[in-house]
Structure 1
Amino acid sequence: MKSQITILLLALLGVNIAKAQSPETPVNGSAYVFNAEKSPCLTNEARKSIIQELENNVAMLQNEQRLNYNGTHRDGHVLFSWPVQKADGIDFNDVWSISGYLDHNAAYPNQLTDYDCGTTTYDTSAGYNHQGVDIYTWPFPWKLMDDDSAEIIAAADGQIIAKGDGQYDRSCNFNSNPWNAVYVQHSDGSVAWYGHMKNGSLTTKSVGDMVAEGEYLGIVGSSGNSTGPHLHFEVYEDNSYTQLIDPFAGDCNSLNGNDSWWVEQKPYLKPNINAVMTHSQVPDLFPTCPTTETTFESSAFDISDTIYFTAFLRDQVVDDVIYLKAIRPNGTYLYDWNITVVTSASSWYYYWSFPVDAVGEWTWEVTFKGQTETTNFTVSDALNLDESSFSQTSVYPNPFYDVLQIRSKVPVTKAIVVDVLGKMIKRSSNISEGIQHINLETLSAGLYFLTLEGNDGQQKTIKLLKN
């Protein structure tokens, strides 16, 4: 599948800033458009090969009298839980969005009808109509994959009738490579395909083993025909593989109509705040595929730092309003404002940058569609703090006028002073006795950086303010 990233400048961003107590810097951000080039998840050859393997394995399990499905259809059918979840310990509020549903319009190309009579699906000029639902990870898709943050779980109880692992999982284009996948048959005979998994992440269970609803199956990856981590979830009525099922009930579901296969069907649009974060720099969200994103995430800053505030949204729609607050440690607002969305998107991120004006624990708060998410971060004054592993070393007074005293339990053998442009102003060394003070009376008033080095190679850099 193909991912296309659209970076929009403020003039094209699709957001109006309301007249409120807002930061002077503008809102920035972009949309993430997954599979913009409409590439199929499977080639016809790969699909035929998979079906042949499934049929062979079912025959084998029957011969060994280990096939759980007894060949009869009970009344009704299984119901599915959602097959993607965030792993334990992940700070994000959520880790997924939907790029495409099953296409119910057999015509092509660009003849699209999803279960809800919309066009959130795709086909190709070669005649492929999307046969499942694509659930992609957001935000930081590659980092989520690398960190095993987005888990694929069994949507219903069933028996593993095939699994394939060991395939390259950082695909960036249409190719003929097999995907890593697990295939589960349920007690009613239906079969669910879970495709594009991360290499080496699949359940240790084998063909013939049973899995329970909600049980771990693997990690969302980008194996096979894919240009970004996502799960392709495809369902068949039985192991003849002639009748697809669309689990979503809707007026334009031509397969099973208004019969939902979900325990609780999610709405067509699922507006959500996937993450609220703070950063030391603008996150590198869209590096060249398949490079992992650099998040620059941080929750600790100095009072002199400019902080980057982000909000990662799912399914925003024109005229939605997003409310934003930067809340000081004493509960007052540095900024309290809102923006109005004018561009619909299944995933979008915003960022603002501005300095803060107080030390202590701050709160960054985002409210969207009645949902509020926050993240806390601390601001300190580095002019008066010891910051690094050279923890027993300190300098005083700071701010200073002329001579700077050094207090350390271990000898300080080297001291280097540089200005804000990185130019070295002074260098001192004393290996035998250590350095106890530095005379800086000739320096002009301003900000400097002092790097101290101990006799065991430890280093510490301290901001200095010369009065």
Structure 2
Amino acid sequence: MAVLGLAATCAFAATSVPDGGGSLQNSPHDELSPAFRARIDTELARNVAELVQAGRLSATPPWLTPQQGGLAWPLRPANGYADYGYHGISNFVDLNAGAGQTLDWNCGARTYDGHAGIDIFLTPFPWLMMDQGSVDIVAAAPGTIIGKIDGNDDRSCPNHFSDDWNAVYVQHADGSVAWYGHMKKFSQTGQPVGATVAAGDYLGKVGSAGFSTGPHLHFELHSSLAGYAIQEPFSGACNAAASLWAEQRPYYDSAIVKLATHAAPPDYHGDNCPDPVDETPNLSDQFYPGDAPIFAAYYRDQLAGQVTTFRVLRPDGSVFDTWSGSSDAAHYAASYWYWTRSPLPAAAPEGLWRFVAEYEGQTYEHAFAVGDVDVDMIFADGFD
């Protein structure tokens, strides 16, 4: 994962320039070769034939038109995960079959040549989140598990890839098949091939196994093995088919995924490859008069001109500090910015303080303690 310095990315076009930050993730992606796909298809066809013969799976009529709709989002935060968000999207399906040409469902270029799925990456600390098992992969629709592969190294990064990925494949009643790829090693459901799953059932954890540049889920949907047409579940100007999502998310799903206070700037360890280690967030929720907390906001789909207003509130709700900022860059799939403001005064009141951000009509809050206050009360108070 590459983190670009502030000078290499943009300046904040507002009242306060951040002390640091920039782009995150650098668009995690994957490349599944034709030979890789052919091997998977052969294995799945063999499994399906065996399951049909055993009476554990109904044969799909060749004339049936796949229309598996009502898809649930294939990720969810694990129990105990408290941040506002956990993901971003780096790539959609490439709808342009021409070599060297790309087109996504919204007539944009958030894809790459020949990409056949959706890449949903972890953010803002992907390796840490992966190792902590922060995000579950779940079935987007009911169906039957028709294939599984596990045990492959899950710490792939640019130009250092494991030989194979870890994945679960689910066939739906209409014959369409969903691929859930790049899973964390040994995190998969214990359900065997031939078992049925309901929408929302646990399938595994997000990892970076196979040809992957960072922790993300490759979610791919296509028609029956006989028809094998790649399906883009998002509907838009360049994909007139009806949306297959129960609730389609917007093309730019702008949000703050994490609001935090730090004792030191977060450390992403450069490109963190070929042996990626967890990021060092340097988070802190405990400060004292005279300290200078670092205030940080972590975004997905941050767009130029979107203003964020920040406030730091004393325990009585009065405003201690306020500032705002907006990015000049056209689009960041994931980004972060941090500020070191004036030190807390010697007379700073002890208690629970609040760091508040208002962004795109939403209000986000993070609580921190000043003085000899039990930090546990922060979480008991209902704040992250």
C-alpha displacement of 1:314:
0.9
CA contact (8 A) 2:354 2:367 kept: yes
Q: 1:13 aligns with which of 1, 10, 16?
A: 10
User: Where does residue 246 of structure 2 map in the other structure?
Assistant: 263
C-alpha displacement of 1:27:
3.9
RMSD: 2.1
Partner of 2:5, secondary structure, is strand
CA contact (8 A) 1:145 1:229 kept: yes
Q: How many residues align?
A: 365
Q: Structure 2 CA distance, aligned partners of 1:356 and 1:65?
A: 70
Q: 1:104 aligns with which of 95, 105, 111?
A: 95
- For normalisation by structure 2, the TM-score amounts to 0.90
C-alpha displacement of 1:12:
4.9
C-alpha displacement of 1:240:
2.2
User: Where does residue 115 of structure 1 map in the other structure?
Assistant: 105
Q: Structure 1 CA distance, aligned partners of 2:268 and 2:124?
A: 8
C-alpha displacement of 1:223:
0.1
- For normalisation by structure 1, the TM-score amounts to 0.74
Structure-2 change in CA distance of 1:70 and 1:47 (3 Å): closer
Q: Structure 2 CA distance, aligned partners of 1:162 and 1:76?
A: 21
Larger RCO: 1 or 2 (CA < 8 Å, sep 6+): 2
Q: Structure 2 CA distance, aligned partners of 1:7 and 1:65?
A: 58
Of all paired residues, the percent bearing the same amino acid is 40
User: Where does residue 34 of structure 1 map in the other structure?
Assistant: 26
User: Where does residue 140 of structure 2 map in the other structure?
Assistant: 155
C-alpha displacement of 1:77:
3.0
Q: Deviations over 1:371-400 (max 9, x none)?
A: 11111000116xxx999xxxxxxxxxxxxx
Structure-2 change in CA distance of 1:12 and 1:194 (3 Å): closer
C-alpha displacement of 1:108:
3.1
User: Where does residue 57 of structure 1 map in the other structure?
Assistant: 47
User: Where does residue 397 of structure 1 map in the other structure?
Assistant: none
CA contact (8 A) 2:162 2:209 kept: no
User: Where does residue 179 of structure 2 map in the other structure?
Assistant: 193
Matches within 5 A, 1:321-400: 321-343=307-329, 344-354=331-341, 355-357=343-345, 358=348, 359-380=350-371
Q: Structure 1 CA distance, aligned partners of 2:295 and 2:126?
A: 19
Partner of 2:179, secondary structure, is strand
Matches within 5 A, 1:61-460: 61-68=51-58, 70-71=60-61, 73=64, 76-109=67-100, 111-123=101-113, 129-174=114-159, 175=161, 177-240=163-226, 242-253=228-239, 257-287=240-270, 288-289=272-273, 290-343=276-329, 344-354=331-341, 355-357=343-345, 358=348, 359-380=350-371
Q: Structure 2 CA distance, aligned partners of 1:148 and 1:323?
A: 32
C-alpha displacement of 1:345:
0.8
Query: What amino acid is aligned across from residue 14 of structure 2 in structure 1?
Result: I
Which structure has more strand as a fraction of its residues? 1
C-alpha displacement of 1:74:
7.4
User: Where does residue 420 of structure 1 map in the other structure?
Assistant: none
Q: Structure 2 CA distance, aligned partners of 1:45 and 1:221?
A: 22
Q: Structure 1 CA distance, aligned partners of 2:188 and 2:31?
A: 19
Structure-2 change in CA distance of 1:176 and 1:49 (3 Å): farther
Query: What amino acid is aligned across from residue 41 of structure 2 in structure 1?
Result: I
Highest Rg: 1 or 2?
A: 1
CA contact (8 A) 1:41 1:224 kept: no
Partner of 2:322, secondary structure, is strand
CA contact (8 A) 1:78 1:186 kept: no
Structure-2 change in CA distance of 1:176 and 1:380 (3 Å): closer
CA contact (8 A) 1:13 1:29 kept: no
Query: What amino acid is aligned across from residue 13 of structure 1 in structure 2?
Result: C
C-alpha displacement of 1:5:
2.9
Structure-2 change in CA distance of 1:76 and 1:191 (3 Å): closer
User: Where does residue 456 of structure 1 map in the other structure?
Assistant: none
Unaligned 5+ runs, structure 1: 124-128, 388-467
Runs of 4+ aligned structure 1 residues displaced above 6 Å come to none
